[in-house]
Amino acid sequence: MSPIIASGAGPRRSRRTANAWRAADRVGALLEKARREPLAPPTIDAERAQELVASVQRGRDAR
Protein backbone atom coordinates (compact mmCIF):
# COMPACT_ATOMS: atom_id res chain seq x y z
CA MET A 1 0.00 0.00 0.00
CA SER A 2 1.41 3.42 -0.87
CA PRO A 3 1.89 5.98 1.92
CA ILE A 4 -0.50 8.45 0.28
CA ILE A 5 -3.37 5.97 0.19
CA ALA A 6 -2.61 4.81 3.73
CA SER A 7 -2.72 8.38 5.06
CA GLY A 8 -6.17 8.98 3.58
CA ALA A 9 -5.01 12.02 1.63
CA GLY A 10 -6.78 12.34 -1.65
CA PRO A 11 -7.65 14.90 -4.30
CA ARG A 12 -10.36 16.43 -2.13
CA ARG A 13 -7.99 17.12 0.77
CA SER A 14 -5.37 18.38 -1.64
CA ARG A 15 -7.90 20.79 -3.17
CA ARG A 16 -8.94 22.08 0.28
CA THR A 17 -5.31 22.55 1.22
CA ALA A 18 -4.63 24.49 -1.97
CA ASN A 19 -7.69 26.66 -1.32
CA ALA A 20 -6.54 27.34 2.24
CA TRP A 21 -3.09 28.42 1.02
CA ARG A 22 -4.65 30.70 -1.60
CA ALA A 23 -6.85 32.29 1.07
CA ALA A 24 -3.80 32.75 3.32
CA ASP A 25 -1.93 34.40 0.45
CA ARG A 26 -4.86 36.79 -0.09
CA VAL A 27 -4.92 37.69 3.60
CA GLY A 28 -1.17 38.24 3.53
CA ALA A 29 -1.49 40.55 0.52
CA LEU A 30 -4.23 42.54 2.26
CA LEU A 31 -2.06 42.91 5.37
CA GLU A 32 0.89 44.11 3.31
CA LYS A 33 -1.33 46.65 1.54
CA ALA A 34 -2.72 47.89 4.86
CA ARG A 35 0.80 48.31 6.28
CA ARG A 36 1.63 50.77 3.51
CA GLU A 37 -1.48 52.92 3.98
CA PRO A 38 -1.82 55.63 6.61
CA LEU A 39 -4.19 55.08 9.51
CA ALA A 40 -7.61 56.68 9.29
CA PRO A 41 -8.33 59.42 11.81
CA PRO A 42 -10.11 58.29 14.99
CA THR A 43 -13.89 58.16 14.86
CA ILE A 44 -14.39 58.68 18.61
CA ASP A 45 -12.40 60.80 21.04
CA ALA A 46 -10.17 59.36 23.75
CA GLU A 47 -12.61 60.21 26.54
CA ARG A 48 -15.46 58.27 24.91
CA ALA A 49 -13.13 55.33 24.25
CA GLN A 50 -12.19 55.24 27.95
CA GLU A 51 -15.88 55.31 28.90
CA LEU A 52 -16.54 52.31 26.66
CA VAL A 53 -13.57 50.38 28.07
CA ALA A 54 -14.70 51.11 31.63
CA SER A 55 -18.21 49.92 30.79
CA VAL A 56 -16.90 46.63 29.42
CA GLN A 57 -14.68 46.14 32.46
CA ARG A 58 -17.62 46.77 34.81
CA GLY A 59 -19.65 44.20 32.90
CA ARG A 60 -16.89 41.62 33.20
CA ASP A 61 -16.38 42.32 36.89
CA ALA A 62 -20.09 41.73 37.51
CA ARG A 63 -19.82 38.11 36.34
The reported pLDDT for the residue numbered 10 is 67
DSSP three-state, residue 9: coil
pTM: 0.48
5-63 pLDDT, tens digit per residue, is 455 556 778 889 999 999 999 999 999 999 999 999 989 999 999 999 999 999 999 88
Please calculate the CA angle 52-55-57 and round it to the nearest 5 degrees.
110
